[in-house]
Chain A
């Protein structure tokens, strides 16, 4: 399989700067969430910083996706507080399963996402170009391979020019070359100052990140770097 993310140079941002990094982008204070009577997240306090890749590690059902959805604003915490010190924060979100529209083409999916984001969105042609999707622009999403679908979701997430990029299990089902390309992309985004948060159940993914938080049964059990 060819390398997954054949991204070209970013032309819409300033050059990477090491000076303006590690500012808090989002802080969670004693956050918890219930599913009915069951506590799925409890007492999570966390700081996500710009320019860093942060991994949320843990086994299946540990609460990683719940936490990521809270960071994305999809779910609200039942207890605790979430704050964005450097607001406004532009969020790019890549779900674990394909969550765009099968009936629409690649170009139509990106145009829809761009229109929903408003005037500040990255032009669709640029997103198509950056993620090597030009040749697939008029193909329906239903006809894409799993790898192409994930590339499309990543392109859609990048349309918002995110300052906080959230990815749910992005390395699952990727081959070695695609993983390498993905990490290369994430490091480049972090170098531009984007705070990147991803979930994974593989410790090897944590080793690639600047910071890791381990979660088990909805509780924070370990934090490193």
Chain B
């Protein structure tokens, strides 16, 4: 009987601790809500429309192809390009999924096979549309039916190059946010914050000083993952390694700034870890790491655009698989740099508040 009483008292004590620990309670109740929202409404595997770019010097032929592409069987969002080079550049930059060279007969369809899910969807749409024209009634349909498909960037639409290259971003996000989230919370928990405060440390000094080693560690970690991806999975590196390094530095700074913000908001390391998890979940689901970004609804895409991982994935996959140019990388780095500024500013302000609050 006394054992049962003791167990009941332990359960009661534990329940009181849970109820009074708002962060844990928020985690228990908040995570299912977040997961339901993300998995239920945001994540989709198939895009609603396909982005297709048509190259045709003859206006009438281009119009016929466009009609075919926009038909119910294909359902594409079609735009025209003045030249094949221009269209292929759009393909390389990820602005379109399919390029139709209508100047060739049979028409050539270049499909971006970087993302195997999107590629398979595009391939299925092409096959479906061609099948729908099985009995050509006139010259227009006959012309449209004759197509040849060329896979670009990821021949065979393999899963490994797409996922493994993206892993660089995912692992960096997970580790850097977590490590930096623990920094200030650890100082507070261990009592060493008191010594730093007695030394009149300033928020910016603390932020830059504490995060610099993690930045270097992040770059080392990124290089290690990339090297492993090359050696173990033979992931191609078609673009510039220097571009990846520069992007990784800005991306690491973004994650570290956010982690430091969490660290200055949290009272203890456990709270900082919980905040990290809350950020990591949408990052992995809304960034396009696992599910096609273009398949998500507009609101989810808007949220995804605010995440540094979304842009870094485009860069790393763009550089490794599609050999994108510097302009493309800079374009994707701008939102990450903006994130660094906003998160960094918030982190320094929050750190100032935490320092004023003093040691535990």
Q: Do A and B make up one complex?
A: yes
Name the A residues within 8 Å of B190 (CB-CB): 99, 102
Is A113 interfacial (CB-CB < 8 Å)? yes
Contact indicator A116/B191 (Cβ below 8 Å): no
A117 — which chain B residues lie within 8 A by C-beta? Answer: 199
Interface residues of B in 312-360 (CB under 8 A from A): 356, 358-359
- Docked complex Cα distance between A101 and B192 (Å): 7
CB distance from B52 to the nearest CB of A (A): 58
CA distance A57 to B311 in the complex (A): 59
| B6 within 8 A of partner (CB) | no
Q: Chain A 37-81, CB within 8 Å of chain B: the 1/0 string?
A: 000000000000000000000000000000001001111100000
- Tell me the count of chain A residues lying within 8 A, CB to CB, of chain B: 19
Complex: A101 Cα to B195 Cα, angstroms: 10
Docked-complex contact B194 and A113, CB < 8 angstroms: no
CA distance A88 to B226 in the complex (A): 53
A77 to chain B, nearest CB (A): 12
Check A74 against B198 for contact (C-beta < 8 Å): yes
Q: Are A74 and B192 in contact (CB under 8 A)?
A: no
A154 within 8 A of B: no
A101 to B183, CA, bound (A): 13
Assess whether A113 is in contact with B191, with CB atoms less than 8 Å apart. Answer: no
Contact B199 A95 (CB under 8 A): no
The residue on B at minimum CB distance from A109 is B195
Report the Cα distance A72→B195, complex, angstroms: 10
A93 to B201 alpha-carbon distance, docked (Å): 14
Q: Are A95 and B356 in contact (CB under 8 A)?
A: no
* Dominant SS among interface residues on chain B: helix
Which residues of A sit under 8 angstroms from B200, Cβ to Cβ?
A: 73
A156 touches B (CB below 8 Å) = yes
Contacts of B192 in A (CB 8 A): 99-101
Taking the closest CB of chain A, its distance from the CB of B351, in whole angstroms, is 15
Residue B197 lies at the interface, judged by CB distance under 8 Å to chain A: yes
Inside 8 A of B194's CB, which chain A residues have their CB?
69, 74, 93, 95, 99
Q: A10 at the A/B interface (Cβ < 8 Å)?
A: no
**Which among B191, B192, B194, B198 has the greatest number of chain A C-beta atoms within 10 A?**
B198
> Nearest B residue to A101 by beta-carbon distance?
B192
Interface string of A132-156 (1 = CB under 8 A from B): 0000000000000000000000001
B198 close to A76 (CB less than 8 A): no
A74 x B197 contact (CB < 8 A): yes
Question: Which B194-220 residues have C-beta < 8 A from chain A?
Answer: 194-195, 197-201
Is A98 an interface residue, CB under 8 A from the partner?
yes
Complex A-B, nearest 5 residue pairs according to Cβ-Cβ distance, in ascending order: A93-B198, A99-B195, A74-B197, A99-B191, A99-B194
**What are 11 A-B contacts defined by CB distance under 8 Å?**
A69-B358, A72-B197, A73-B200, A74-B197, A74-B359, A75-B358, A99-B191, A99-B192, A99-B195, A101-B192, A116-B199
Query: Interface of B with A (CB < 8 Å)?
Result: 190-195, 197-201, 356, 358-359
Known: A69-B194, A72-B198; 18 extra A-B contacts, CB below 8 A, are A69-B358, A73-B197, A74-B197, A74-B358, A75-B358, A76-B356, A91-B198, A93-B194, A93-B198, A95-B191, A95-B194, A95-B195, A98-B191, A99-B190, A99-B191, A99-B193, A102-B190, A156-B195
